[in-house]
Amino acid sequence: MNLLFRIKQSSRELLFFATAALVLGVAFSIMDATFNNFLNDRFALSGFERSFLEFPRELPGFLVVFVSAALWFLCSRRLGVVTMILSACGAALIGFVSSSYWVMVAWLFIYSLGQHLYMPIAATIGMELAREGQDGRRLGQLNAIRNFATIIGSFSVFLGFKFFGFTFQHTFAISAILLMVAAALLFMMKPEPVVKKQSFLQLHKEYRLFYILGSISGARRQIFLTFAPWVLVSVLGQSTQIMATLYTIGGVIGILFQPFLGRAIDKFGERTVLASEAVILVFVCFGYGFAKFIFPADTAFLVVCACFLIDQMIFSVSMARATYMKKIALQPDHIQPALTAAVTIDHIFSISAALLGGVIWNAFGFQYVFLLGAVIAVINFFTALQVRLPKKPDSFVQNPGPSVPQ
């Protein structure tokens, strides 16, 4: 009853955005749950070929700041519409027009461009819809919705492949349709005023630590996105159903964990949350890389699954970097450009990590990729300890946003 009351009392904009987050979350989770198996079945890629694919897949992340600068005349909500349309077209083309590996790469670029353009927009709009001092809580709530969406999408893949004869074309078509629905929902949101001079291409030295945190995050994120699922699929030989099940379980855990994480950011601060993530990741990386050599096969599989779920659970710690940016911003119109620039910066390192990881995988073995990940986590820990929130009595007053129930 309390949930229904809060929904009824929520603003129109929040309801549209939350529904869009649910729909696009289902679409992205369907793609995530099937894409690695699609690559393995259709193209039989080696470890290096799989890692090389991350270059065209992550290149849009590097280009985000330039594309956003070119589309400066669109407010964040209208830019969100464009991102969903791009991803929908890419998903449909991957499923139906991938006559060869290189053709598929072109469609993947389009899908990924929409996905990466949306990353900073999601945090920007989420914080616009939060009360003052409760940005983490609002982002945590929205991430919980996306985790619920992951359950729906991943469980749909499980049921579809196990009982209803789904093919990869079915899943990509469903994803494309849902992304178009998300575009329509974002379009129905009232557009906010456009800031004419958004400094997308300008880096501020005051945000130096924020950019460094994003760079480290990019390398860490790529190891999870590329090599963690690939260990399960290619090293441990797990099926599409198993991957979908893991994403489903991760979504269930995330529904409870994401609001807790958001509240933890507001209560304990970004430094504590980011440093704690780094410590956890050290153990997760060792589990990914060495469980196969330490434990019997069944136990090693369970250990890697546990690492996968923990990694998926703490992946949303990225919202701590977004709230940190809002708190140190010199003026309000710096927030979205800085978040966008961080996406570009972290993708320089994520692309490098993917290519380097592929070389290491082929030359020395997959376990050394995760040893590299553990080193990155240690660096992340000491960097996170540098986070401070300086008192700025003359700084701008944050817009508290609409009065919506928390």
Give the pair of three-digit tokens for residue 236: 């441990």
| 270, 320 contact by CB (below 8 A) | yes
In a domain, 267, yes or no: yes
Q: Which of 6-10, 35-39, 387-391, 398-402 has the lowest mean pLDDT?
A: 398-402
Whether this model's pTM surpasses 0.85: no
| Angstrom distance (rounded) from CA 52 to CA 275 | 30
Residue-range definition of the domain harbouring residue 220: 7-188+206-384
Q: Can you give the pLDDT at residue 193?
A: 64
In a domain, 395, yes or no: no
pLDDT band at 322 (very low <50, low <70, confident <90, very high): confident
In a domain, 197, yes or no: no
SS3 76: helix
Question: CATH number of the domain that 368 lies in?
Answer: 1.20.1250.20
Q: What separation in angstroms does the CA of 206 have from each of 54, 64, 69, 324, 344?
A: 31, 21, 21, 12, 18
DSSP 132: T
pLDDT band at 395 (very low <50, low <70, confident <90, very high): very low
Choose the most confident range, by mean pLDDT, from 9-18, 93-102, 227-236. 93-102
In a domain, 176, yes or no: yes
In tens, the pLDDT along 117-129 reads 888 787 777 777 7
Q: Helix axis angle, 101-128 relative to 318-328, nearest 10°?
A: 50
In a domain, 108, yes or no: yes
Which residues in 206-334 belong to E strands, given as ranges?
none
In a domain, 306, yes or no: yes
Domains in the chain: how many in total? 1
Q: Which residue type does 34 have?
A: T
In tens, the pLDDT along 232-262 reads 877 777 776 787 788 778 778 877 787 888 8
Q: Is the pLDDT of residue 381 over 70?
A: yes
What is the maximum alpha-carbon separation in the chain?
62
Q: Can you give the pLDDT at residue 185?
A: 92
Q: Can you give the pLDDT at residue 135?
A: 67
In a domain, 393, yes or no: no
Q: Phi first, then psi: give them for residue 204, nearest 5 degrees.
A: -105, 130
Alpha-carbon dihedral sign for residues 151, 140, 309, 41: positive
Question: What average pLDDT does this structure show over 80-100?
Answer: 90
**Closest residue by Cα to residue 224 from 370, 60, 77, 346:** 370
Q: What separation in angstroms does the CA of 283 have from each of 104, 266, 290?
A: 35, 26, 11
In a domain, 396, yes or no: no
**Per-chain mean pLDDT for the chain:** 80
Higher pLDDT, 59 or 305: 305
pLDDT band at 134 (very low <50, low <70, confident <90, very high): low
